[in-house]
Amino acid sequence: MKKKSHEASCDSKPRLRRLPRVMAAALCLSALFGTCAHAQTWGISNKVNSGGDASISISYGSPQTGYPECAEFDMVSSYFRLSPDSSTAWASSIILNPPYWSSNVYHQGGALTLQSHSVVNGNLVLNFTGIDGSLSTASVVTIHPPAISTNGTAAVDAIRADVSVSVTGSVVLDPQHPGEAFKVVAVSSMHDSNTVWDNQYVQTGSGQIFNYPDTDSLFIPNGAVTASSFLLQGGISSWQTQSSGGRAAPTISITLDKARPILAHDDAITNPNGDNIEVWAASDNDGETVQSNWTYSVTAQRNYTLTK
């Protein structure tokens, strides 16, 4: 997974976490399961990196195609990523546990525990519980098999996860952080310059594009955008050429259960090993309400042109 460690899930000032791009892993547990020996099957394995942090790796394939990794969950921070194929780089991350502000402390991420996993109608269903400060979470992540579709000469590699989150516990949110006090889903990414990035810009479902200012700012402020979907546009930058052998960073799109305030912040740091972009959907009442349950879908997609 990506780079940079996060000092704690609770901090007085928000900081984004960069997941290690290469996991120096000791394999603790692994399993392959599916319908038959020659069918495409899901694989799941537990890993521990050199710093002792645990993650869960998800793969999908067959003996003929191999078992490329298509998802990874950081069990310390609740960050997870999707990748549709082995030609796509790891890039932006989604935060499964909801970040929030309480008592002037920002709670971001928090630990996950995988309670169960199963295959239902060909999809991998993962049941997690989590701790996020004083809140407890229960999340169901249903990952659909990676898919390749064609439209003329254009091909699309994509993978989708449907997410359901429920929260129990009680906290008092900080009203001085409108639009930020409770985030139902947040995407963490990197854009340091017009040549060093994991994504190029933010686009809402209505087609409105927001370019990164590369200055420390809330460049999509509270009240500016309400939408039921948004995406972070991927592609290949000089950073991908250097760090991932030219593999494209996927476009990450989020489809929400309803229209919600969309906000985005640029930290304007210049270290590609650390995320400096966060884009999120706020909860009800401009993010000032602890939600009890919600759903959304995440799609990681790579576009390319077929060679005739």
Question: Does 152 fall in a domain?
Answer: yes
In the prediction, which pLDDT does 303 show? 72
Question: Does 66 fall in a domain?
Answer: no
In the prediction, which pLDDT does 305 show? 58
| 139, pLDDT greater than 50 | yes
Report yes or no: 206 and 172 within 8 Å, Cβ to Cβ: no
Do you know the residue count of the chain? 308
- Cα(304)–Cα(300) distance, integer angstroms: 14
Nearest to 77 by CA among 12, 19, 137: 19
Q: What is the DSSP pairing of strand 251-266 with strand 226-232?
A: antiparallel
What percent of the chain is predicted at pLDDT more than 70? 84
pTM of the model: 0.87
- Tell which wins on pLDDT, 274 or 56: 56
What integer is the mean pLDDT of 263-285?
91
Question: Does 138 fall in a domain?
Answer: yes
Token couple for 144: 């659909």
Question: Does 56 fall in a domain?
Answer: no
Number of domains the chain is built from: 1
Task: List pLDDT tens digits, range 78-112.
Answer: 999 999 988 888 999 999 999 999 999 999 989 99
Question: Does 170 fall in a domain?
Answer: yes
Question: Does 73 fall in a domain?
Answer: no
